[in-house]
Every structure is written in structure tokens, then in C-alpha cells.
Chains A and B, each alone.
Chain A
Amino acid sequence: MTVGVVANPASGRDIRRLVARASVFPTAEKANMVQRLLTAFGTLGVERAMVSTDLGGISANVLRAVDRSRDNQWPKVEFCTDDPLTGTVADTANAVRRMVTAGARVIVCLGGDGTARVAAAACGDVPLLALSTGTNNTFPQLREATVAGLAAALVATGQVDATTRATALEVTARGRTELALVDVCASTSRHVGARALWDPAGLTELFCTFAEPDAIGLSSVAGLLAPSPRTTPDGVAVRLAPPERARMVVNAPIAPGLVRPVGVDEIRPLHPGERVVLRLRDGVIAVDGERELELAGHEATVTLRADGPRCVDVAAVLAEAARRELLSTRKESQR
């Protein structure tokens, strides 16, 4: 019985380091998180862990640890070496697909929103546990890895069934389809360029799967006006405008270290299954905070899907484990 772990070495080195005082998440810490996950898996009887390989030093670090400590009671660790490494998001997608094919019961991914959405697009029905290590961490959870590992193992071993189905936004343009777990945003900026989106000028439309008031990133624009919790099926659709002409202006934390006025003309619920054609024809579409699709006169559509990835709800899993005493044993009291 197998659990998969995918760790993205590339998260956290883009231009937001410069324009948004975003933090650098060291590779060594990502490797430590993987090791903590393996420790937790081992204590709950997970037999096999498949771990992604990378050129950034995470898997090398884990391999050294596997070699060094024989008595750490980890599951059997297998590295995904079937696909050649490209140093791009394709590596994440490939690894997740391999893990799904090999029968992984849960997949843990370490990264930011970008990593999570790629993993979500590839994991099918296998539950996903996204742990945060990137910049805009709206979707992945900022959780201690050992505890997350316990939750993943409890779900993988079938002891607890506490997963929730997230919604997702499917955006299609020029024959390409991308999945977003948090937001899709259209901008009149011409080029993908440095990818990250940190300048609110030129944003025209914003779609969110959910919008929490205490989130970081573009979804906070909606979250501060008309919050829409993760737990409800509806998302949010927002029509944006330059702040000087807009009906409302939100001072939103659109990136770490960046609070900017964003102009909003209209905000309404977005229903699952509703297909929206974007007004924008020339510009770029950003998916989960990164510019991804370039348009030059092309039509793009966005649809909110109710069948996004199944997600492991760590808090709920451990609450149930506590209630059912899955991690404790009582001895008969002696009189």
C-alpha cells in the first residue's frame, strides 16, 4: 500500500522575490519535510512511498538519508526514475501520473499554488494533500509535515475517510486547457514574461474557486468584498477596472509584501458548470497567480467544475483519529 510524495524544487525563486519581498524556501527544508512525511508514514504502517526525483537537490538529500539510517522505520522508498527530468512542471505531472498508475492511495505534494494545480490535474481520483512551500500559498496548506504525514497515512491505510472535493476552474484557449485551483485572471499585459502577476494594472476579469478574506493573492480581492468559503460549491466572478474609474476599490494583499488598490466594477457568484467566455482577446491569462496563456485575438473560456481534486483535510482526519482513538491504546486499569 503506497503513498506518493512529489516535491517541486523550483517553487519560490521567481520575480516575486524582488517585487514582493517574498521569501526563499530553502531546498534543504523541503527535503526535511519529505523526511518527516516518511517518518509519519512509517509509524502508521504505510509499506511503500514513491518519491519524485528532481535536479534541485531534494531527492538527492532524501536518498542520502535513506542510505544513512537503516533503523528509521521508514516505508520502502522508491524514486520515480522512469521519466527523464526536464526541470519543468512536466516533471511534477509525470511523477504524479506514475504514482497514480502504481496505485498510490494518497499523493502529498510540496510546492505553491502552481505545483498543486499541476498535481491536481494529474491525480485523477486519488486524494491530494498539498503542503505549502512556495510564495502565493492560497490552496496548499501551511502545515507541519509530520502531522500532515500522519493524516495522509490514515487516509491511505483506509482508517479514516475524510476527504473533501475541491472545485476547480478549467480555462481553455487555443486548444490548451489549464486547471486552476484558486483563481484565473485575465490581463491586457502582452506577454507571459516573468510569469508572476504582481501589477494590478491591466487586469480585466478574475474568477475564483473560493475567496477567503484572509487569503494572500488575487483571490483576496473577492475575499475582501464578498467572501465565498472553500466549502461552498459556488465560486466568484469579478469584473475589474482601473481604480480611478471603478465602482469599488479594494486594497488587497495581492502578493506577499504587496497591498495594492484594485478596481472592481462587478462581483457575482460563479456557478459550477457555468461556462464564461472572456471579454479579453489580446493579452494573457494567469492561472493561480502565474501568467500562462498568451492570447492574440483568440477566444478563451472559463468553467467552474465541481469535480476538482479530492483533498485530504488534515484537521478533520486527525480529529476523527482522536475521536476513534486510532493513534492511542488503552491498557486495562489495575485495581
Chain B
Amino acid sequence: MTDTLPRPVEGGLDENRLREAYRVMRTIRMFEERVHDEFATGEIPGFVHLYAGEEASAAGVCAHLDQRDAIASTHRGHGHCIAKGVDVKAMMAEIYGRTTGSCHGKGGSMHIADLSKGMLGANGIVGGGPPLICGTALAAKLQQTGGVGVAFFGDGASNQGTTLEALNLAAVWNLPAIFVAENNGYAEATSSTWSVAADNIADRAAGFGMPGVIVDGFDFFAVYEAAGEAIARAREGGGPTLIEVKFTRYFGHFEGDQQSYRADEVANARANLDCLSRFRARVVETGQLRQSTLDQVDAEVTTLVDDAVTEAKAAPKPTRADLETDVYVSY
């Protein structure tokens, strides 16, 4: 009999990975807050939809992914892009519509993508992502890479036919696909408790032949664990899973949304439901990361976002010569 306690069960989160998880979440938070501020000046064209408040979902899931894996996102896609490793400066430039952007200024906030990083794009069509992920998962299965596909979608998309068809197809074909329903309580201005007829989005999973799990979206560790299990299961051929992440968004549906439908919730959310402060408090308490390390990350991210905005504003816009290029590979 031994008196020593077994080593802590970290679930694969050593100091480096914890710091990087924090970096991802802090980058998303600062990026979105900055876009919010800059959008108000009127310089950013079109529409933006901000992910602030939801960082733990993108970070907790994408921490398990590598170059074999692909993700599809929503119109609220900046968080997923950052978590999957899309270049932050290129993202900012894209939002500003500059040629240095991820899509050379031709996509904008709702279509930021980087296929080389397995990021199939933010998507302007609600429910556009899940069928595409059935495809990437199918490719991974046929190519035998052990890769998975992750479809992020919202409570609004959980009612869209394409999503429901994709759930069924993924189960029928036993695809390595993870469906992450990010339930932030609102689809545009309509509450999800009203629009989703089931008691929980996860409850639908049983009807589609896969397990459905609910996790607290303000807790990075809860998302990380559930996603880890689902992804490991998929890699081993165990098929698809539906994970419902429950949390809230701090900003409106789009920038400019006054959020009158939310009464006083937002202030309470920012004060008491913050995945970043929870993560920080926890890892400092357990001694897994030092305050100084976290502060260092904060400083680096601040610089990164500042530089991204400065460079984006200075970058050229596409010209007439760019208008008709890249419609086809060849025509």
C-alpha cells in the first residue's frame, strides 16, 4: 500500500495547453470588443455578428482539433475562426474589406474562411454548415485520416431543415461528425425557449440516433471534457454526437441591435457569467497558471488586436481588377 496520491488527472491540459486555451478565449474577447467599438465609428462595411460571451465553446471544442479536422461555422463566426487558427490580422482586414483579408476582401465578416486550416467558413445561411460537415466527415472517413468534422450552429439553426437532415445523414452513414448547438437563448430577437419545441436541443439527438449532451457554456472545462469525449468517440468510429452548449451572447444579434427584447439580462451576464474570469480564477487557484502568465497573454493579445486594426485600416481596398476574378478555377 502506498501513501502517495495519484497524479492529478488533467485530461491533457498541461500548462502550455491551458495557456493557449486562455489565449484563444482572450483573443476572441478582445477581437470582438474591438470590432464592436470600431463598427460604431461607421468605418466597417456591412453587418457583423459578435461572439463575445461564448468563447468557452469555440475554445473548448477546438482545443481537441488538428489539421485532419474541419469545422463549419455560422454568421457569428469570428470566434470559431480564431479558435481554429485563422490568422487574426487577416480576419480583421477581411472585416474591413481589404485585399489583405483572409478572402481578399471579397467575403466579409460573414464569410471568413481558411480552407487550409480546415475552417470552411462563417456562413451567412442559417443551417448552411451541418450538411457541409457531413461531407468533410465523409471525406475523413473514406480517406481514413481519423479526422472529424465539427458543425457549430445556433439555436435558430437547430430548427432548420438542413440541420435536421444532416443529423440524420450523419447517423445513417455513421460519420465522425460532432454537432455543437450553441444555444445562447436567442435566434435574432426570438427566444429559444419559444422557438425550440423540444425542452432542450440535446433532447432531439435521441430522435436522430445519436447521444445528446448538455454542457454549461460558461465553463471551459465542462465544454473541453464533453467535446473531448465526443471527438475521441468519433475518431474511433463511434459515430456522431450532439452537444448543446448553453450560455449567452453579450452583444446583440448584429451590431446595431438595441436588444430591447432582453431587458436587463446583458448587464447581469457580463458581471456574473464570464467564462474568462471563471477560467482565470480557477487556474490561478489550482496553481496551474500564474497571474503573470495570464497578464502576459493579455498584453500580447492587446498588441495583436491593436496591430490588426491599424494594419487593416491602412491596407488597400480591392479594385476593379479584382471584381471578376476567382469566380471559377477556369472558365
Interface set of A (CB-CB < 8 Å, partner B) = 9, 13-15, 17-19, 21, 24, 26-27, 55-57, 187-195, 199, 201-202, 204, 239, 241-242, 245, 247, 265-266, 279-280, 282-283, 294, 296
Contact = CB atoms under 8 A, between A and B. Distances in A.
Contact of A14 (B213, B230, B288): B213
B229 A15 contact: yes
Nearest to B215: A194
B9 A188 contact: yes
A241 B222 contact: no
Given A13-B200, A188-B7, A282-B286, 4 more contacts: A18-B211, A190-B10, A190-B221, A194-B225
A9 B282 contact: no
A328 to B, nearest CB: 41
A188 B286 contact: no
Contacts of B5: 188, 204, 279-280
Contacts of B42: none
B226 A194 contact: yes
Given A15-B226, A190-B8, A193-B224, A241 B2 contact: yes
A266 B1 CA distance: 9
- 5 tightest A-B CB contacts, nearest first: A202-B9, A191-B221, A193-B221, A194-B225, A296-B285
A24 B206 CA distance: 8
A24 B203 contact: yes
B238 to A, nearest CB: 9
Contacts of B1: 239, 241, 247, 265-266
B291 interface: no
Contacts of B213: 13-15, 17-18, 194
Contacts of A283: 8
B316 to A, nearest CB: 47
Nearest to A298: B285
B233 interface: yes
A192 B193 contact: no
B202 A190 contact: no
Nearest to B224: A193
B282 A191 contact: yes
Contacts of A245: 2
Secondary structure call for the A interface? loop
B199 A27 contact: yes
Contact of A242 (B6, B214, B222): B6
Given A13-B200, A17-B213, A193-B221, A296 B9 contact: no
Contact of B226 (A18, A21, A24, A26): A18
Interface in B183-228: 193, 199-200, 202-203, 205-206, 211-215, 219, 221-222, 224-226
Nearest to B238: A18
B212 A24 contact: yes
Contacts of A21: 211
A265 B230 CA distance: 33
27 contacts: A13-B202, A13-B212, A15-B215, A15-B226, A17-B202, A17-B211, A18-B229, A19-B229, A24-B203, A27-B203, A187-B9, A188-B6, A188-B8, A189-B8, A189-B9, A190-B9, A190-B10, A190-B286, A191-B282, A193-B225, A194-B225, A201-B6, A202-B6, A239-B1, A242-B6, A265-B1, A283-B8
Interface core residue of B1, B2, B9, B193 (most chain A CB under 10 Å): B9
Contacts of A282: 8, 286-287
A294 B282 CA distance: 9
Contacts of A194: 213, 215, 221-222, 225-226
Contacts of A279: 5
Contacts of B219: 191-193
B109 interface: no
A192 B213 CA distance: 16
A282 B287 CA distance: 10
A201 B9 CA distance: 7
A55 B246 CA distance: 14
B241 interface: yes
Contacts of B287: 282, 296
A26 B199 CA distance: 9
Contacts of A239: 1
A222 B167 CA distance: 41
A55 B193 contact: yes
Most chain A C-beta atoms within 10 Å of own C-beta, residue among B202, B214, B219, B225: B225
A9 B199 contact: yes
A147 B195 CA distance: 37
Nearest to B214: A13
Which among B11, B202, B224 has the greatest number of chain A C-beta atoms within 10 A? B11
A25 to B, nearest CB: 10
Q: Which of A17, A27, A192, A265 has the most CB of B within 10 A?
A: A17
Contacts of B11: 189, 193
Given A15-B229, A202-B6, A265-B1, A190 B288 contact: yes
Nearest to B10: A190
A27 B233 CA distance: 27
Interface string B233-264: 10000000100000000000000000000000
A144 B222 CA distance: 34
A284 B282 CA distance: 12
